[in-house]
Structures are given as structure tokens and as C-alpha cells.
Amino acid sequence: MPKLDREVVRHLERLARIELAADEVETITAQLGRIVSFVEKLQAVDVTGVEPTRSMSHEPLDRLRDDVVTPPLDRADVLAQAPDVSGDFFRVPRIIEKVDE
Amino acid sequence: MSLAALSIAQLRARLAAGEVTPVEVCDDALATIAARDGGIHAFLDVHAEAARRRAAELTKSGEFRRLPLGGIPVAIKDNICIQGTRTTCGSKILGEYRPPYTATVVERLRAAGAVVVGKTNLDEFAMGSSTENSAFGPTRNPWDLSRAPGGSSGGSAAAVASGMAAAALGSDTGGSIRQPASFCGVLGVKPTYGRVSRYGLVAFASSLDQIGPFTRTVEDAALVLNTVCGKDPRDATSANAPVPDFTTGLGAGLRGLKVGVPWAFLGADVAPAVRAAFDKLVDSVRREGAVVEEVALPHADYGLAAYYIVANAEASANLARFDGVRYGHRASEAKSLYDMYTHTRREGFGAEVKRRVFLGTYVLSAGYYDAYYHRALQVRTLIIRDFAAAFTRCDVVMLPTAPTPAFALGEKTDDPILMYLNDVFTIPVNLAGLPGLSLPAATSAEGLPIGVQLIGRAFDEATLLRAAAGVERVAEFPTGAVAPAR
């Protein structure tokens, strides 16, 4: 297994959308390394031909509920929780950068 | 004697006889919280006004007499939503989040007449085994305020142990109900996967999470389970299995019950006091006429490693929703959407949550998926098969709940793996989706409760509770005890 180093952690920051503070990077790199060596013990288990368990549900999950209208969440209650709204929309920082000609 | 020391069954008897009213019971619980919670910090929010209002309604209408939990004060772990009141998950990222809906379990408790007295502390997003990972400060163990109550449902366990509520709800992903129940000397039940609706529970690991009760007696646990179990159309994973009356047959005793003990799994890492209490209880159970047999769980030793892959993979996906857009905290200075996400999540999540999201992201990322995640799911299958084989030979499996009694606050916070080892005996049960409970077995020389764990067949909580009621009668720990104020 490739080593879990700072470069891997930098990549994980992007995937997980969590920017670590400078002092956190070192700590988390060391701790993740130890946790990953701990879970390495699974490599010793003989799993030849064993099906993975992907769902624990005892219920058929492909069964749809009856097609009836039920009351949705109250729009004002939902929007009241948002950090920034504009009318009935959630507002976020600019997504498309302005292109200078 | 304060009403706070009474079990649900005892309170029900007094309420039915007209000796007390729901208002008096509620006022007593709120007074106990006011007197004791300064030192314990089990509650993040006390819903005093709403509780008094509900208790007054029940008293006035008299309907508490016909309701199974009429007038009973209960506390709710703060990852379970109640409309219009703060739900924090012990995290800064949820800020002052007030959910626009109420969890099915809370609706069911209310419909049964229960009075919600407040929301309890937890490790952030239920990630932890000591309630020290809460952004709002730790909860203390009512039996020894210098020690942790266990976690992640430490607030709920401590509230029930100290008489601040007769019952509480928690959630259990790898032991988060059973381990704090063991540390705090109370009953804690993790029902079968799918037994209880999770609508309104903030998800941590969706293939493992389950809501369950804390109480001080087995009978009380049965009463709460009667109310909260059952199919809910709003949770597609909730099971259609029939819900029997769990209070029937609790007096059946242990004669003829087949108890399986996986001695080989007990290992060397169990504290001597826990091992001694366990061995003694096995002898008592045998003397009561139970048949104690050795069973094998050869893959249970790998449970912890498999769990930290599966649970954190699921957590990394579930916690993606905390993005600063629809609710909770948002970083203020970010100029782009990407920066807004990454800064919001840096500021909002604590160290343990970050560790786990990073680990989950790592094991799911390209190149590592097969080696870690796929293999962990295969090991999960092997653990499920181990239990299936064991249950051809016994009715319940008996294990310690945790390897040690309550440890000191701060003792394990610097070493994540040491903290994870708390859950070595509880995690296999979640991986297999089975029902399990912890009940107080004994008291250590330092006066700390020691729990024992019983595990049952899927959807056979009835047998599990009957066995627990039998064990409760022979256990050294005084049944229903409340931690004395100190």
C-alpha cells in the first residue's frame, strides 16, 4: 500500500471539501497513518469467494410508496434555516468566474 | 424518596393510583435537572416550558391514565430532531439549526404520553466513546464526576443514571448506547437494524445506525420499545416485522435458556474487574438453570477494523450534506463556492469528525476501494455468518459490554485507536444488524458500574429482554439504582 503522506492528505482535503489548518495537516497525517496500519489487519482474512454485504435492510427497497400527495415541509421554515437566501432561493458565492476579454 | 428515583413502572403505578400527577412528576424531573446537571452536563437544552405545558395538558385531560407512557419524563439525544427546537449533534457546523420536522420516535413517544424534558449531549455527530468530542464540552459520569460517561450517547445515559429523566433515547452505530449504559449503570438497548424508524435521526453510518432506549430496568426498556418500534413509511429501511408486547414473559426466568459465550473472543485486553464480574455472572446464570455453552465468533476480532472502514466510508458520504448552503454554519469570508465549502467544513467540524471523514474518503478513493472498502464488506459477511452459526446453538450470546469501567476524562483523548478499542465487543453486533443490550452487572472496587452485554437473534428482542430480566435478578448491581448526588 502506498504511504499515507502529506500529499495524499492534500488530495483528501480536495475530495472531502475540508481545508485543514496548517497545524492540523501534520497531526491528521500521522493519525490516519496509524489508523490505516490498524485496519491493515483485514488483509490477513481469507475472503476468497465471500460476497460483500452491501445492504442491511430486511425490506425490499425497490417498492414504491403509493402515489399520493403528502404535505411537504413548510417552505418558510426550511428557508429560515439557510445562512443566505434570495427570495425562495438559497444564495451561494459566485460559481462562474468572470472572464476578462 | 424523590420521584426521580422511580422507574417508569413505579411512576405509572403512582400516576394510575392518583398519588401523583404528570405536573408533579415533570416538576420533579426539572428540579432534579436544576440541582444536578450543573455538575454533570447531560443536557444541551432543557425544554422546561414545553415540558410543563405538556404535563399540564395531560394532567388536565386525564388522558395520561390510558397512555402507556402517560406523564413519563424522557430525554432525547441531540441528533434526533424536534421541530422548532435546536438540534446540534454536538457540532458547531449545525449552529442554531432548528429542524422543520420532528423525528418519528419523538412523535411516537409524545403520542404515548411521554413528556420530553430536553436534548442530551453527545460526541459530535455520534462519533466517539466518551462524549468528550462534543463542541459544547463533555458530560461527566454521575457515579464519579472525574470520569467519562461513555459515548456517544453519554448525555442520555447520564440523565437516566442520575434521575433527571426516567428514560432517554440514544443512537448506536458501534456501541453508542450500550457502552455509555455500561459506564453509567443503566439499561441500554440497541434494537435490530430496521426495528425503529430513523426518520429525523441525523445520519452517521446508514447501514449501522439504530435508535434505542436507556432506562433503569429491563421492564422499563420493554415499555419504551413497545412505543418506538415498528414500520414507518418515512424510513424505507424500517422493517415490517410484527411488534409483540415486550413486557410479556419477563418473569419467565433463566431455566432452560441457552446462553452462548465466545470465550476465545474475550482475550487479554479485558480489565480484571470486568472479567471477574463477567465470570461471576456466568456462574450465577448457570446456577439459575441456564445452559451455558461456548460458541465461536472467529471473525469478531476483525470487527473493529472492518467497522472503521465501513462506518467512516458511510459517514464521509452522509456528512457531505453539511456544506453551508441550506442550514447551519457558513464561513463568512469565502469568495468562491469551493472556498465556502472547504472553509465552512474546516471551521464547523471538530478533530474527530475530520479524522473520520478523511479516513472514509481515503478508503473510498480510486485505487483503495477494493483493498479496504470491498474487503471490509466481505469481512462483514463473515461476521454475520459467525453469529448465524452461534445462534444455531444458543438463544442469546453473552459478552462484556466494554473492556473497562468508566475511564477518567482526558485519559484517552490523545490516542484515537485506544478510544476505538472501547467498542471492540459492541461493534460486531452493529455489523451483523442484531439486537443487543447492556445491563448493569456489578460495581467495581472504586464504585463504578460494570455492564454485561446480551445479543439476540434479529427481530427477537422478546427473547433478549426475557433473558435480560432473568440476568437482572441475579446481577449484583442493585436494580434500578440512581447514582447518588455528589
Provide the residue ranges of all domains of chain B, joining segments of one domain with +: 3-255
Compute the CA torsion angle B234, B240, B245, B248 (nearest 10 deg). -140
Residue range B329-351: mean pLDDT, rounded? 94
Q: How far apart are CA B369 and CA B182, in angstroms?
A: 35
Active-site annotation holds for B152: yes
The C-alpha of B370 sits at a distance from chain A's nearest C-alpha, in angstroms, of 11
ipTM: 0.93
Residue B413's nearest CA partner among B137, B181, B197 is: B137
pLDDT digits (tens, 9 = 90+) for B137-186: 999 999 999 999 999 999 999 999 999 999 999 999 999 999 999 999 99
Q: Which of A57-71, B78-92, B159-173, B441-455 has the lowest mean pLDDT?
A: A57-71
Q: pLDDT at position B97, please?
A: 96
Domains, chain A, ordered by start: 6-44 (1.10.20)
Q: How confident is the model at residue A100 (pLDDT cuts 50, 70, 90)?
A: low
**Mutation choice for A interface testing from B316, B378, B383 by most A CBs within 10 A:** B378
Q: How far apart are CA B430 and CA B432, in angstroms?
A: 5
Q: Is pLDDT above 70 for B399?
A: yes
Active-site annotation holds for B77: yes
Q: pLDDT at position B230, please?
A: 97
Minimal-distance CA residue of chain A relative to B333:
A93
Q: Does the beta carbon of B369 lie under 8 angstroms from any beta carbon of chain A?
A: no
CATH class held by domain B3-255: alpha beta
Q: Are B133 and B124 in contact (CB under 8 A)?
A: yes
Task: Record the cell numbers describing residue B255, joined without a space.
Answer: 431455566
| Side-chain-facing half-sphere of A23: CA atoms under 13 Å | 1
The C-alpha of B219 sits at a distance from chain A's nearest C-alpha, in angstroms, of 27
Q: pLDDT at position B15, please?
A: 97
Three-state SS for B345-370 is: HHHHCCHHHHHHHHHHHHHHCCCCCH
Q: pLDDT at position A64, please?
A: 79
Residue range B192-201: mean pLDDT, rounded? 98
Q: How far apart are CA B340 and CA B446, in angstroms?
A: 50
Cα angle, residue B149 at apex, residues B144 and B151 outer, rounded to 5° = 170
Residue range A64-88: mean pLDDT, rounded? 92
Q: Are B200 and B102 in contact (CB under 8 A)?
A: yes
Q: Does the beta carbon of B108 lie under 8 angstroms from any beta carbon of chain A?
A: no
Q: pLDDT at position A2, please?
A: 57
Q: Is the Cα torsion angle B363, B368, B370, B372 positive or negative in sign?
A: negative
What residues contact B422, with CB distance under 8 A and at least 6 apart?
A: B129, B130, B150, B175, B179, B402, B403, B404, B412
pLDDT digits (tens, 9 = 90+) for B360-375: 999 999 888 988 999 9
Q: Distance between alpha carbon B423 and the CA centroid of its chain, in Å?
A: 12
Compute the CA torsion angle B247, B252, B258, B264 (nearest 10 deg). 60
Q: How confident is the model at residue A60 (pLDDT cuts 50, 70, 90)?
A: confident
Q: Are A16 and B359 in contact (CB under 8 A)?
A: no
Q: How confident is the model at residue A99 (pLDDT cuts 50, 70, 90)?
A: low
What residues contact A53, with CB distance under 8 A and at least 6 apart?
A: B377, B378, B380, B381, B384
Q: pLDDT at position B451, please?
A: 98
- Determine, for residues B328 and A13 on separate chains, whether the beta-carbon distance falls below 8 Å: no
Q: Distance between alpha carbon A29 and the CA centroid of its chain, in Å?
A: 19
Q: pLDDT at position A101, please?
A: 53
Q: pLDDT at position A59, please?
A: 78
Q: Does the beta carbon of B359 lie under 8 angstroms from any beta carbon of chain A?
A: yes
- Determine, for residues B97 and A1 on separate chains, whether the beta-carbon distance falls below 8 Å: no
Task: Record the cell numbers describing residue B68, joined without a space.
Answer: 402507556
Active-site pick, B152, B171, B182, B444: B152
In the DSSP assignment, the letter for residue A50 is: P
Q: pLDDT at position B202, please?
A: 98
Which residues of B fall within a CB distance of 8 Å from A82? 325-327
Active-site annotation holds for B336: no
Which residues of A fall within a CB distance of 8 Å from B88? none
pLDDT digits (tens, 9 = 90+) for B440-455: 999 999 999 999 999 9
- Determine, for residues A74 and B100 on separate chains, whether the beta-carbon distance falls below 8 Å: yes
Active-site pick, B7, B77, B91, B238: B77
The C-alpha of B339 sits at a distance from chain A's nearest C-alpha, in angstroms, of 8
Task: Record the cell numbers describing residue B450, joined without a space.
Answer: 460494570
